[in-house]
A and B are shown apart, each in its own frame.
Chain A
Amino acid sequence: MIDDSRPIYVQIAERIENDIIEGGLLEESQVPSTNQFASFYQINPATAGKGVNLLVDQGILYKKRGVGMFVTAGAREKLMQKRRDQFLEQYVITMIQEAEKIGITRDQLSEMIMKGGKLQ
């Protein structure tokens, strides 16, 4: 679940992002409260709040006064675009480096990608 590698609030924000991308949290639906996040992940409520606020700042969530946090309309597409932008650096470059290290040629690699794609 939560690991020690990065700030916890960043991980909370990512979990909410994933939920929105995967359709667990629909646009205009209510997000769990910071206290609910805190008790579920056994973390400090202020930390959970920081994660939620990160997404408010990015316009992914918005606050309804006295009610709670909600997912902004259009948030899903916005997040998908952000993840696509990160894809090259996060996955492709790492993969190519590893492939070079263990002697897989570019051709072999692209063949693997084609085959792997069919498994889906």
Chain B
Amino acid sequence: MTNIIEVNQLTKSFGSATTVNDVSFTIEEGKIYGLLGRNGAGKTTIMNMITAQLFPTSGEIKVFGEAPYENQSVLRQICFIKEGQQYPHLFRIADVLDLCPSLFPNWDNEYAYSLLEEYKLPVKRKIKKLSRGMLSSVGIVIGLASRAPLTIFDEPYLGLDAVARGIFYDRLLEDYAKHPRTIILSTHLIDEVSRMLEHVLLLDQGKLIINEEVDAIRGRAYTAIGSAKIMDSFMSGKQILHQESMGSIVSTTVFEPLDKQTRMEAEELGLEITPVSLQQLIIHLTNNTPKRKVDLNQ
């Protein structure tokens, strides 16, 4: 596999605040990545450094094998759709699209206009007259039609309703199948996108805490539900990620893969075992309450 991005011991500080703290990872060609984490976890800062809009305090970034700063041959291959992307206010949508072929070598104008139609965007309307959702749709159209070898969507759906988001997911998968490329999606709507992702990078307070294939993460935790008395003996020696109780019933999320023996033990004890969704797992992992003390490298 070719590495599109190589990030090595990347750190970014703003004054005394360290937003990105010693982060290393690689992004392989042709996969869909999810860059996840809470607000302020450092997602946007990392994307800004990858796209050369921000200098790292220390560490190294290589994009398509080269340093991205003022490097046209690298930057031409990237399309970065930011949250709340700004466009020249006096431009019409059509004017913005007219600029795209010169920015993105793979730009497909016909596809862009078919997407505009699907999103019912008024091509001749000025950018400043567009609603929040319409502006987001313009970003999505550009991101998809750019067909850039590295396409990054940072929280692209401010103000978008569920139908419009559904169109985005459908078109993204469809076009990705026809024109495979590397895509990074940064979002809070984990449940909505988790099935589309192949690999997840999870940031927590500037640190990278998960860097794994989605399928592997899915089996890393489970929840057991049952009476408090039984639970105590079952849970001893296990890595507990989260626990809550309601009366005498306790629900415990364990950060360990569920093996056959444990499953049988739980069944014999009368405990109910349920899966943990990617979103739930991430909430537990990044909800920084004192109860959570888990060694992620196990």
A residues near B (Cβ < 8 Å) are: 2-9, 35, 38-39, 41-47, 50, 97, 101
User: Which residues of the other chain, B, contact A50 by a CB distance below 8 angstroms?
Assistant: 215
Tell whether B226 is near chain A: CB-to-CB under 8 Å. Answer: no
Q: Within the assembled complex, what's the spacing in Å between the Cα atoms of A7 and B217?
A: 9
For A9, the closest partner residue in chain B by CB is B215
Q: Is B176 engaged at the interface, CB distance under 8 Å to the other chain?
A: yes
A2 — which chain B residues lie within 8 A by C-beta?
A: 195
CB distance from B114 to the nearest CB of A (A): 16
B138 touches A (CB below 8 Å): no
Bound-complex Cα distance A39 to B275 (A): 25
Tell me which of B68-76, B103-111, B166-174 binds A. Answer: B166-174
Interface class of chain A by DSSP: helix
How far does the alpha carbon of A61 sit from the alpha carbon of B161 in the complex, in Å? Answer: 40
Cβ of A5 to closest chain B Cβ, rounded Å: 4
Q: With a CB–CB cut-off of 8 A, which chain A residues contact B278?
A: 4
Smallest CB gap from A34: residue in B: B177
Query: Please, how many angstroms separate the alpha-carbon atoms of A9 and B219 in the complex?
Result: 12
CA distance A33 to B53 in the complex (A): 40
Chain A positions within 8 Å of B31 at CB level: 46
Residue of A nearest to B215 (CB): A7
Given the known interface contacts A38-B173, A101-B270, the answer about A43 and B195 at a Cβ–Cβ threshold of 8 Å is: yes
CB distance from B205 to the nearest CB of A (A): 26
Give the chain A neighbours of B173 by CB distance below 8 A.
38-39, 42-45
Contacts of B174 in A (CB 8 A): 39
Is the beta-carbon distance between A4 and B277 smaller than 8 angstroms? yes
> Does chain A have a CB within 8 A of B218?
yes
User: Which residues between 255 and 298 of chain B lie within 8 Å of chain A, taking CB atoms?
Assistant: 267, 270, 274-278
How many whole Å from B170's CB to the nearest CB in chain A? 7
Q: A8-B215, A47-B198 are in contact. Are A39 and B177 (CB under 8 A)?
A: yes
1/0 per residue, CB under 8 A from A, across B168-209: the answer is 011001101110000000000000001111100000000000
